Structure 1
């Protein structure tokens, strides 16, 4: 799994996901995450 994004604040948003992936997080782990609303990063954990 990889993450790509373009836009304001993406550097901060992607850093958290990079840590999760480095720790072995899977798509299922992201699916089981409760998203903080309203945030742009919630789009990554609510993608199906």
Structure 2
């Protein structure tokens, strides 16, 4: 692997992990809002 820069790849991996975690948080927030809206609709 002569053309692989380990440090660059580690930074890219950390960046991808943080982006994934942000997306999961966003999806969970959306899910919670939808569930609350459904609960409001039941009243």
Same fold (TM over 0.5): no
Relative contact order, higher structure (CA 8 A, sep 6+) = 1
Instruction: Compute the TM-score of the two structures, normalised by the length of structure 1.
Output: 0.30
What TM-score results when the alignment is normalised by the length of structure 2?
A: 0.33
Q: Which has the larger radius of gyration?
A: 2
Which protein is richer in helix relative to its size? Answer: 2
